[in-house]
Structure 1
Amino acid sequence: MNLSSLKPASGSVKTKKRLGRGHGSGMGGTSTRGHKGAQSRSGYSQKSHFEGGQMPLQRRVPKFGFKNINRVEYKALNLDSIQALVEKTNATVIDIEVLYNNGLVSKTDLVKILSRGELKVAVELKAHAFSKAAAEAIEKAGGKAVTL
């Protein structure tokens, strides 16, 4: 095998339609564009979302609410998942890097610790936010909740 003998798999490449090359080609005359009207002319471009004059979808569907551009999205992690992580890794300090290395969060996530489950060991937890109940539970177990 060499570079000059390479070719695509059979049936994977179709020949392009040759429009406007006479009646014998089957694509002559109007070149598959139908008769007259803007769509048959060169330079025609339809507006995106145009539905032929019928009321377009984006105007038919009702709108409500708003998107707060200042919203801060947190990745929620519960104490039971932290407990499972501690049992697996025996770590005493858990920060974003430890959570990332164990696949619990992605690099860009902001992390908030929530209070579902129970923490049985003293651990220093570093996260972007804590719920009140989670912070109390961490300190009750003898650990520390450090806000980044």
Structure 2
Amino acid sequence: MTITLQSLKPQKGARRRKLRKGRGIAAGQGASCGFGMRGQKSRSGRPTRPGFEGGQMPLYRRIPKLKHFELVNPSRFTVLNVARLADCKAGSTVNLDSLVKDGIVTSPKHPLKVLGNGELNVKLTVQAAAFTASARAKIEAAGGTCEVI
């Protein structure tokens, strides 16, 4: 037997008759049609929007505030401590390209961010996407300058 669109029909028992509500007590869903007596959920139309929890902060708004949820668009940086800059030549300009050339940074996937761990005694012009407050203070204390690019 070949199956055609005309020959398709639901399996026996798959489709049930529609409940005829409000048609008297003998019909099983008479009068209030299974909605109870009074209240918000017995009124016509949709009682509440999807996700409504009676005024409590709903789940879809609570979830992002909980721990262990990753940021959607996190800021990614190639980080470098001030102590690693101490090997650079005095008076030179330090940026991501020069650090890769010198072998200090090996995988420059993201913009450079300078962190303040360690000491610096060399005067440098440092060009980076971001600096921590302590890194900026240590570079400027050594006589250097910080340029945000």
User: In the alignment, which residue of structure 2 is the partner of 1:93?
Assistant: 93
Q: Structure 1 residues 135, 90: CA separation in 2 closer, same or farther (over 3 Å shift)?
A: closer
Question: In the TM superposition, what whole-angstrom CA distance separates every residue of 1:83-142 from its partner, at most 9, and x where no partner exists?
Answer: 12x1xx556111111012123143432211111111101100001110001101111111
Give secondary structure in 2 for the equivalent of 1:119.
coil
Q: Which one-letter code corresponds to 2:72 in the other structure?
A: I
Q: Structure 1 residues 123, 90: CA separation in 2 closer, same or farther (over 3 Å shift)?
A: closer
Q: 1:6-45 alignment to 2 at 5 Å?
A: none
- Structure 1: 5+ residue stretches without partners: 1-63
Moved over 6 A (4+): none
Give secondary structure in 2 for the equivalent of 1:133.
helix
User: Is 1:83 aligned with 2:79?
Assistant: no
How far apart in 2 are the matches of 1:107 and 1:147? 17
User: Is 1:132 aligned with 2:116?
Assistant: no
User: Is 1:146 aligned with 2:147?
Assistant: yes
Task: Give the TM-score, by structure 2 length.
Answer: 0.50
Q: Would the aligned equivalents of 2:90 and 2:124 in 1 still touch at CA under 8 Å? A: no
User: Is 1:67 aligned with 2:73?
Assistant: no
How far apart in 2 are the matches of 1:109 and 1:91? 25
| Paired positions, count | 82
User: Is 1:108 aligned with 2:109?
Assistant: yes
- Structure 2: 5+ residue stretches without partners: 1-66
User: Is 1:123 aligned with 2:124?
Assistant: yes
How far apart in 2 are the matches of 1:83 and 1:102? 13
Give secondary structure in 1 for the equivalent of 2:121.
coil
Give the greater-gyration-radius structure (CA).
Answer: 2
User: In the alignment, which residue of structure 1 is the partner of 2:40?
Assistant: none
How far apart in 2 are the matches of 1:107 and 1:77? 11
Task: Give the TM-score, by structure 1 length.
Answer: 0.50
User: In the alignment, which residue of structure 2 is the partner of 1:56?
Assistant: none
- CA RMSD of superposed structures (Å): 1.8
How far apart in 2 are the matches of 1:146 and 1:71? 23
Aligned-pair identity in percent equals 27
How far apart in 1 are the matches of 2:75 and 2:106? 16
